[in-house]
Amino acid sequence: MNSPLSAVIVGRLGHLSLNRPDSINAIDLAMMQAMTETLDTWADDPAVSAVLLDGVGDYGFCAGGDFREILSKAAEGMTIGSVFFRNEYRLIAKLAEYPKPVVSIMHGMTMGGGISLAGHASTRVVTDGVKLGQPETGYGFVPDGGATWRLARTPGELGTYLALNSVDLTAGDAIALGFADVMVPTERIGELTTALEAADDVTAPDEIVRRFASGAGAGAGAGAGAATVLDRRDWIDACYSAGTVEAILERLWAFSNGEEVDGLRAADSSDPDAAANAATAADTLLRLSPTALVATLRSVRAARDGETLREALERELRLARWFTTQPDLFTGVQALVAQNTNTLHQGSVPDWKPADLADVDLTDIIAAMETQLRHSVFPRGLGIPEEATEA
């Protein structure tokens, strides 16, 4: 059986490759442990001056967390929130705070936890064929692993829209919204890797990376293509600035019917298909987990209030652990694993409980976000005691 992680030192470069191509490099516990141990070793190794993080296989960098493993561990009685998510979040923080430069390369499918791994590197590369997204609300979960912190820092209400509607991003979108720094064409990734491995000094790998960007020598977004999500910002800001998911839906319906919302009508939008796109967005929301939608909106809005990444990870851990006790996560993941439904693009919708937004208990969600755990992500770093009311 192959190792879930390839770790080699070539020249002065530590090269980490996610190595589960049959599952699009989905993150499992073994991969997390191997990455953590390797990064700890390389941090103190003078022979390593920078790290490259990529994924094996043509389908994508990383499809996110391995929810097959989560379901399996849950069946064994393991407290998933205390093991899988905590380990993952600590790894993400380690990458974000790493003492040496880290270059990540996102290609093909890069979803959820995959964005969290690569998105906190010091230099983040996307290829022309990348497809990024936060699909969590489609399987009864919430954006996590620092995702709310990143989404809350996008322009206007775009992060709210991306989080709630599980929207896919192009390379241009990713750069414009701060998910990536530069686009390198797929056919030049091999050259880029070789250049990083051959460099005598890779303490400034960003300079090497930008030589391979589309339109060499140009800015970060050069060659990345149009940012399609940004073209919809006016009506997204108007509709998604509402305080609740129900109110967002009401605004989307009104806007799609030609009514004025927050001073904007579809006829005056910079998006020529604004009315149709707003109607599609509303239809999408109706297919997703009501509990996940309410919790996601609350979580993204909370991340705006001056949170650090570490603070966001702590809050996300508390919410993720609560979701492992809720039926929608298991309903959604089972549907996803069985490939019996695609909640975003086909007619079938999982049996969400509750099925209506009006029946979601916001009090429970707020309590979950605010209740400290006995074993947090950074118990000492944030001054959170080891002893608390939750496991």
Residue 146 lies in a domain: no
CATH number at 48 reads 3.90.226.10
- Confidence bin at 218 (pLDDT 50/70/90): very low
DSSP state of 255: H
- Confidence bin at 310 (pLDDT 50/70/90): very high
Cα separation, 121 vs 181, whole angstroms: 10
- The mean pLDDT value for 26-47 works out to 96
Residue 84 lies in a domain: yes
Do 80 and 70 contact (CB within 8 A), yes or no? yes
Angle at 166 between CA 339 and CA 225, to 5 degrees: 110
- Confidence bin at 219 (pLDDT 50/70/90): very low
What is the structure's pLDDT at 280?
Answer: 97
- Confidence bin at 68 (pLDDT 50/70/90): confident
Question: 374-386 pLDDT, tens per residue?
Answer: 888 886 544 433 3
Note whether 241 and 201 are same-domain residues: no
Return the C-alpha torsion angle 251, 253, 254, 256, nearest 10.
120
Residue 388 lies in a domain: yes
Look up residue 255 and give its two tokens.
């806007």
Residue 72 lies in a domain: yes
Question: 330-370 pLDDT, tens per residue?
Answer: 899 888 777 643 444 455 789 999 999 999 999 999 999 99
Do 120 and 223 contact (CB within 8 A), yes or no? no
Least confident of 11-20, 82-91, 183-192, 357-366: 82-91
Residue 221 lies in a domain: no
Note whether 109 and 25 are same-domain residues: yes
